Structure 1
Amino acid sequence: MKKIGFISSFLFTRFSRLFGILCLLGAYSLSGIEVKAQVTQADYRRIDTLGNWNLQVYHAVTKPVWIGETHYFWYQDHSPEGDIFWLVNAENGERTKAFQAEKLASAMSRMTGRKVEARKLPFRSINYDTDRKGFEFVWEGRKWYYSVKHNKLVQRDTVLPERKVWERPEPKAERRVSSPDGRWEAYNKDNNIYVRDVAEDKEYVLSRDGIKDFYYSGEMAWSPDSKKLAVIKVRDIPERRIPLIESSPVSQKQPILQWRDYAKPGDVLPVYLPALFNIEQKQQIPLDTRFFENQFYLQLTGWREDSRAFTFEFNQRGHQRYIVAEVEAETGGIRSLIDEQSPTFVYYNRNFRYDLEDGKEILWISERDGWRHLYLIDGKNGQVKQQITKGEWVVREVEKVDEENREIWFTASGLKEGEDPYQVHYCRIGMDGTGFVDLTPESANHRVVFSEDRQYMVDRYSRPDFPGGTVIRKGSDGSVVAELPEVDIKELLQTGWQMPEVFHAKGRDGETAIWGTILRPSHFDASRSYPVVEMIYAGPHDSHVEKDFRAYYHLSSRLCELGFVVVMIDGMGTANRSKAFHDVCWKNLKDAGFPDRIAWIKAAAEQYPYMDTTRVGIYGWSAGGQNAMAALLFHNDFYKAAVALCGCHDNRMDKIWWNEQWMGYPIDESYSTSSNVDNAWRLKGKLFLINGELDDNVDPASTLQVVNALVNAGKDFEQLYLPNHTHSLGGKFVMHRLHDFFVKQLLNQEPPEWE
């Protein structure tokens, strides 16, 4: 009996294990994951090599560079034979090698005693002589000159490293400005304005009312006739500072406390007011500036050529009113030339102004008809003389104003029905609204570089699903002069790499087309089921889905290769569509276009059943970090896992200039409604928070306040707080942790052990 019992127990144990395995297989089958899809260390090692995909794209023209005022340009070409610099004559498309790489590499090797490979020269930019006989380049901290004709390499100056110092301009710092006729020198000193008669070396005081916190600054501008001086007077305030703890400094054992100037929404701001002085009479001309004190900023924008007036631009606090004003030099009278107003926000970061004929007319960009377009404004009365561009599309940027021919060169998107509305085209139009021409008609995203005289243009065009090409066009009509070699991706395709797909579907209203891109793994199998991960950045200051061809999308490509389908979408609330499309973000950053994104993903999954909408994850940086966490607060019936990197989780905690633009001023309940902190109690799903202790773009306390709120609400989450890290979080350790998180939460697997 004992023996029989032992056998029974043994069989029962083996059966239990087999049953468990079968259940596990069933669970994997039900979730769409097959056993063979187990992620391994080899997979992790392989995704570290995906950047090599870029090296398997040949003949993609890097930014061409025109040589002086000639019709020649050079560009670097990555080819199977190596990287080649080409010299091109735009007039006929004739292409020759800019130099013999073997000769130059040999000369460099002789000069330094170190082997230099001709296939991969250690520089990517050259400065060609206008006569094309030679060029300069930078290598190992020095400038070198190479004579192509004589095959001679000469060492030149040492290149000093550029110092990029980002700090608040100090308006109180003394500045001296000479008058156009050279007779006077104006300067700010002891909070006031002085002028010095240069010939007599005699000083005169122009103001006496400047004090410590209400002083005349160094921002000043002389009238062309040297008789008047415009100055900015500043009512100053101490700016908010945020503390940053460098916990693990290299220089010492103990932590270091750092401080950053960092104004936040609702803070009191400095006030900048125009002031005017008559130099001949040594007197100040009074200006009534009371209306302009409620400001986000005010800046001088120059004098009229005949010295009759100077202008300034005023952005009212809250960004709902933007004024271009003119100050009459003799009387000090102020009148508005342009008064742009909006019940939501004026998109001031995309303003454009160009004064014609000394202010007789003004070119201005506005969304007053619901789309961003160009207007010709009467400089005398501020009335619209001509709406220059019209239609359900947007002007992106003004490239050039040709006053002589009264033409405007600009970029636009959304020109063609059915085309991706974010694709950029280069256009020209007359100031009377006639003669519109699309110089780059191909359905693609265009990047153009014009010759100095604009007679020729090099046009590189592509789409995420189209490698594209490069052509030389005439600037007059866009006609093609010559084509450069097509982009070659045959070798890339042989690796199994999958072409991204541009996909569009209806948004929340059932009418508006929402556009995005789908990325699939190189080992893609349509019979399998894949979890979906969205890469999100819904910052309203722009649209964000890449529109050029790319072989490698960094983290998105890496996630694909681990077994995910990755999507990128521009939902409502972002820029470069209609004003109504953009306004969705107004006092509502928590929206982030989620109703459109969810509708888009569902539509894609309906067409492609291998996209599993029961396993949808999301990740994002900065504003995208705020968005990613918001997905699990406000849309946790759809999104199941999120990684929020250096997120701005409460718009009251973030920088003033970005957040007040979209959330408004004064601070109201909408800030709380959109706050991830105040809504942390809503969390459902798996959340991973990552940020750095030295982030001076988004206050690190923003993430820590979310952590506090989650703890108080009894919520489960993961956190990675990185010593010595700033706003840039893309290192190998962080990426590995992010990979592990999605593998565990969406593939339902234990990630492989770290090597």
Structure 2
Amino acid sequence: MKTLYSEELLARYRRAETLEQGAFSKSIAFNTTVYPHWVGESHCFWYKRETRDGQVFRKVDAKASTNEDAFDHNLLAIALTQASGEDVQADNLPLDNLDLLQAPETICFEAFGKHWAYSSATQTCKQIEALPAGWKQSPDGKKALFSRDYNLWLYDLESGEEKALTDDGERFYEYASSQPMSIYGQQSSSVSLEAIWSPDSRRIFTHSIDLRQVAIAPPLIEHVPADGSLRPVVSNPENRVAFGGDEHIESYRFLTIDITTGDCCYADYPDCPATYPPYGGYFTGQRGWWDKDSRHAYFVDQKRGGKLVNVVKLDSHTGGTQVLFEERSDFAVTVIPLSHIHPLLTPLPESNELIWYSERSGWAHLYLYDLTTGELKHPLTQGEFIVRNILHIDTEQRELWIQTAGREAGRNPYYCDICRVNMDTGALTEVIASDGEYVVCDQQSRISVGHPNASGVSPDGRYLVTTFSRVDTPPVSLLLDRQGQTLSTLETADISGLPEGFTWPEPVMLKAADGQTDIYGVVFRPSHFDPEQSYPVLDCTYYYASPVGAFSNNHYSMSYLSAWAYAELGFVTVIIFGRGNDGLRDTTFNSYQNPDFPLAPMHSSRCYKTDCIAGIQQLAEQYAYIDLNRVGVVEFGSTPTALMGMLVHPDFYHVGTSINAMACSLMEGDIAAAHPLGADLSQWPEFEQRADQLQGKLLIINGMLDWCMYVTMTFRLIQALRQANKRFDMLLLPNLDHGACGYTIQRSWDYVVEHLLGETPPQDFRLETAYDSMVEYTSPLLNSDSGY
């Protein structure tokens, strides 16, 4: 049978496939970021060098500027094979939590779910004892905490004795658990013990979470059960999640426990709402800490609605509390900017001070507080720029290493530089800055997810590892001294996996819809681009889109490569960073509310399309090959950018695809919602109210097991579209959760190719990503001889 598509189109799909698969796995770009793990207090660190066959471990002596293999990989592979019985390859050693502190004689690590010690002297591996995952050892090394049956337990490491520290825990009333903080009630695979030891090892600071009156979450029904049975099952019959406006919500009750007496001392303070981020525990999220005196503890309470934050001091002997200071905002207090997973605040127990992050001046800056009095001592930074990261603190020299953005006029305000700040005078010294992004591991930001022990700055602050990147160049990782001088180039990213004939994306500066505000973006063009041809334009501004760095050296890599993949299909694709709440610009920029479709304060305004439209129109004036009669918009996950385009701006966007979008904010979990308690939720418009405005071609895709953006949200929109007598296309996948599998991405490709390019998609093409192997159930009937 003659194919209806061209071989040239299939070749475009293959090039797009290369890029899209690179968004989920290491296949096109290697060594895009170096994650340094410093060896004790020394000037040496190790990192993983990626290869096409796996990885090798490198050890760098910063003082001597040497870079060599950390150990003999072949000998260790042989020893680990003999000890574990597993097949271990020297070029892909499965080592986690590597400890070179005793190297070269002994190397400790985790592999195959066990702890090992390798002796280079005897060339042997032996299994060693270690605390179970999730346990927390006391500072004096004598005891450990663990969780059992919803309660907190104490284990004596010397005698082996166990003791329950709490005894009233039960289902939906747990101590020291991160589970209720999992995304909207979904059980997390990364459970953490949410408790911290006092410095003297005598007390515990923890919390309980009471969900007993929180409403049951919308049901997730396995219509095609994974066990192969026929009868559908409800996969989350007991999950509980509060919506914005609910009376009962997920919240913390804080307490301290004296491990000697067993006395529990509850804080004399109202329960604190569980707030963003919804995927991390409270203490893991660094929002509570002890003073050095082991009597007083501190916690951060962000009130429901996000407009008020209190810093509270707790007396562990009496339960008495004192609000040391508060932070207010008419919009929303940004405790955690989009670039981070932990707050940009740092307690200094030795001096009883707190470095506090605030946008009170209209710009994000750092302030130094006295935790004895709660008084502000002085601003650490100030001016018309923002602080983006805290990298290192030298308490003896009273010096901070930070990253700022927007200090240099005319430079992309998203590019981070590296500076040092004197904590007493506020004097700022620039270490390195240029027209590009400097990525540094800081143990708080998204860049360090998966690398919790990596740090860009050496323990004594004399050396720094950073990756320089732009959207249009390969990333380069550098070793610098404290003056910013380059000592060596550690890695230059290997980009040999990019499609043949690729064209680098172009960073652009545009004007917002107000005609005054500078906005930034990226333009992607297909391989073998011909400026004499006419191209449809595709808006790929996902929630985590970024105009700064390339590949996986920042948390935007998926959107970067996915947008590039769409371009390879035959589009000019754009990512435009318009006004809205992301915490990465000044407060005026962040608090922008689109009058056509205002959103609640802490909901992401990044889905607004007014600035994207203005930017695309400017690009069309500059580039004659952009066809404004063929404009599409695509989205993936949570932020409903395609729905915003197709339903709020139907005259501009002609084709859109929506995947697992927040189609109804009323059903978003209160953990991330920003509706103030008691507010009239009807003041915030919903997409279902705009259903009658749909004009173009819209494909709605939803996983029916999405525990974050419930398919019920989509059903509400579908019902409204039906009542408005609107034509649309819909794809529901019974076994898909919040992720995007290869099939959904491919269907989105097909949709825009057919309706925007006007071509017939290749019918025998199949896109597979690393995500697919984790989710899909295959019916046994497909491979049977039953005749079906």
Shift of 1:433: 4.0
Q: Flag the 1:57–1:738 CA change in 2: closer, same or farther, 3 A.
A: closer
Counterparts of 1:567 and 1:680, CA distance in 2: 26
Counterparts of 1:364 and 1:419, CA distance in 2: 27
Q: Flag the 1:124–1:548 CA change in 2: closer, same or farther, 3 A.
A: farther
Q: Could you tell me whether the CA contact under 8 Å between 1:463 and 1:549 is conserved in 2?
A: no
Give SS of 1:458's match.
strand
Give SS of 1:658's match.
coil
Q: Flag the 1:753–1:549 CA change in 2: closer, same or farther, 3 A.
A: closer
Shift of 1:67: 3.5
Cα offsets for 1:514-569 (capped at 9, x unmatched)? 1111111112111111111111234xxx7745523579944323221210111112
Q: Are 1:582 and 2:587 an aligned pair?
A: no
Q: Could you tell me whether the CA contact under 8 Å between 1:296 and 1:319 is conserved in 2?
A: no
Between 570-579 and 308-317, the greater mean CA deviation after superposition: 308-317
Counterparts of 1:286 and 1:630, CA distance in 2: 46
2:678 maps to 666
Which of 433, 449, 453 aligns to 2:460? It is: 453
Counterparts of 1:142 and 1:223, CA distance in 2: 29
Counterparts of 1:307 and 1:126, CA distance in 2: 30
Q: Flag the 1:438–1:149 CA change in 2: closer, same or farther, 3 A.
A: farther
Q: Could you tell me whether the CA contact under 8 Å between 2:203 and 2:256 is conserved in 1?
A: yes
Q: Are 1:318 and 2:295 an aligned pair?
A: no
Between 719-728 and 226-235, the greater mean CA deviation after superposition: 226-235
Shift of 1:596: 1.3
Q: Which amino acid aligns with 2:612?
A: R
Which of 193, 215, 219 aligns to 1:240? It is: 215
Q: Which amino acid aligns with 1:127?
A: L
Q: Are 1:633 and 2:620 an aligned pair?
A: no
Shift of 1:44: 2.9
Q: Could you tell me whether the CA contact under 8 Å between 1:171 and 1:219 is conserved in 2?
A: no
Shift of 1:686: 0.9
Q: Flag the 1:236–1:716 CA change in 2: closer, same or farther, 3 A.
A: closer
1:209 maps to none
Q: Are 1:516 and 2:521 an aligned pair?
A: yes
Q: Which amino acid aligns with 2:240?
A: D
Between 169-178 and 448-457, the greater mean CA deviation after superposition: 169-178
Counterparts of 1:137 and 1:230, CA distance in 2: 30
Give SS of 2:220's match.
strand
Q: Rg: which structure is higher?
A: 1
Which of 233, 241, 257 aligns to 1:262? It is: 241
Give SS of 2:313's match.
strand
2:46 maps to 74
Shift of 1:39: 5.9
**Overall identity of the aligned pairs, in %:** 30
Q: Could you tell me whether the CA contact under 8 Å between 2:257 and 2:265 is conserved in 1?
A: yes
Cα offsets for 1:275-332 (capped at 9, x unmatched)? 799999999999875xx46956799945644577554433222211111133568987
Counterparts of 1:228 and 1:138, CA distance in 2: 30
Q: Could you tell me whether the CA contact under 8 Å between 1:356 and 1:363 is conserved in 2?
A: yes
Give SS of 1:678's match.
helix
Counterparts of 1:145 and 1:189, CA distance in 2: 38
Q: Flag the 1:478–1:86 CA change in 2: closer, same or farther, 3 A.
A: same
Which of 620, 633, 640 aligns to 1:605? It is: 620
Counterparts of 1:92 and 1:524, CA distance in 2: 47
Cα offsets for 1:101-150 (capped at 9, x unmatched)? 677788899999999887x5465878363433575677777778776688
Shift of 1:435: 3.1
Q: Could you tell me whether the CA contact under 8 Å between 1:92 and 1:481 is conserved in 2?
A: no
Counterpart mapping for 1:320-719 below 5 A: 320-327=307-314, 334-350=321-337, 351-356=343-348, 361-379=353-371, 381-448=373-440, 449-474=456-481, 476-484=482-490, 486-487=492-493, 495-538=500-543, 544-545=546-547, 547-549=549-551, 553-573=560-580, 574-585=582-593, 587=600, 592-624=607-639, 626-660=640-674, 663-669=675-681, 672-673=684-685, 675-719=686-730
Q: Are 1:749 and 2:759 an aligned pair?
A: yes
1:729 maps to 740
Q: Which amino acid aligns with 1:632?
A: M
Q: Could you tell me whether the CA contact under 8 Å between 2:71 and 2:104 is conserved in 1?
A: no
Counterparts of 1:572 and 1:418, CA distance in 2: 18
Cα offsets for 1:158-192 (capped at 9, x unmatched)? 9999899xxxx99994435799xxxxx99444599
Q: Could you tell me whether the CA contact under 8 Å between 2:660 and 2:709 is conserved in 1?
A: yes
Give SS of 2:635's match.
strand
Q: Could you tell me whether the CA contact under 8 Å between 2:421 and 2:428 is conserved in 1?
A: yes
Q: Are 1:90 and 2:62 an aligned pair?
A: yes
Q: Could you tell me whether the CA contact under 8 Å between 1:678 and 1:709 is conserved in 2?
A: yes
Cα offsets for 1:178-224 (capped at 9, x unmatched)? 99xxxxx99444599xxxxxxxxxxxxxxxxxxxxxxxxx9999998
Counterparts of 2:372 and 2:652, CA distance in 1: 56
Between 270-279 and 443-452, the greater mean CA deviation after superposition: 270-279
Q: Which amino acid aligns with 1:405?
A: Q
Q: Could you tell me whether the CA contact under 8 Å between 2:394 and 2:461 is conserved in 1?
A: no
Q: Which amino acid aligns with 1:498?
A: T
Shift of 1:488: 5.8
Q: Could you tell me whether the CA contact under 8 Å between 2:56 and 2:93 is conserved in 1?
A: no
Give SS of 1:374's match.
strand
Q: Flag the 1:561–1:126 CA change in 2: closer, same or farther, 3 A.
A: same
Counterparts of 1:362 and 1:117, CA distance in 2: 47
Counterparts of 1:296 and 1:140, CA distance in 2: 35
Shift of 1:395: 1.5
Cα offsets for 1:391-416 (capped at 9, x unmatched)? 22221232333322222222322232
Which consecutive unaligned segments of at least 5 residues does structure 1 have? 1-34, 180-184, 193-217
Counterparts of 1:78 and 1:113, CA distance in 2: 25
Count the aligned residue pairs: 675
Q: Which amino acid aligns with 2:234?
A: L
Which consecutive unaligned segments of at least 5 residues does structure 2 have? 136-145, 157-162, 171-192, 276-281, 338-342, 441-455, 594-598, 766-788
Counterparts of 1:159 and 1:330, CA distance in 2: 33
2:778 maps to none
Between 322-331 and 363-372, the greater mean CA deviation after superposition: 322-331
Query: Normalising by the residue count of structure 2, what TM-score does the alignment of the two structures yield?
Result: 0.74
Shift of 1:355: 4.2
Cα offsets for 1:581-604 (capped at 9, x unmatched)? 111255276773322111111222
Q: Could you tell me whether the CA contact under 8 Å between 2:308 and 2:333 is conserved in 1?
A: yes
Structure with the bigger percentage of strand = 1
Q: Could you tell me whether the CA contact under 8 Å between 1:41 and 1:753 is conserved in 2?
A: no
Query: Normalising by the residue count of structure 1, what TM-score does the alignment of the two structures yield?
Result: 0.76
1:19 maps to none
Counterparts of 1:360 and 1:62, CA distance in 2: 34
Give SS of 1:175's match.
strand
Counterparts of 1:38 and 1:109, CA distance in 2: 47
Counterpart mapping for 1:135-284 below 5 A: 135=107, 152=123, 154=125, 173-175=150-152, 187-189=165-167, 237-241=212-216, 242-251=218-227, 252-259=229-236, 260-267=239-246, 268-269=248-249, 272=252
Q: Could you tell me whether the CA contact under 8 Å between 1:93 and 1:483 is conserved in 2?
A: no
Between 311-320 and 613-622, the greater mean CA deviation after superposition: 311-320
Give SS of 1:644's match.
strand
Counterparts of 1:228 and 1:149, CA distance in 2: 42
The higher-RCO structure (CA 8 Å, 6+ apart) is 2
Counterparts of 1:278 and 1:83, CA distance in 2: 46
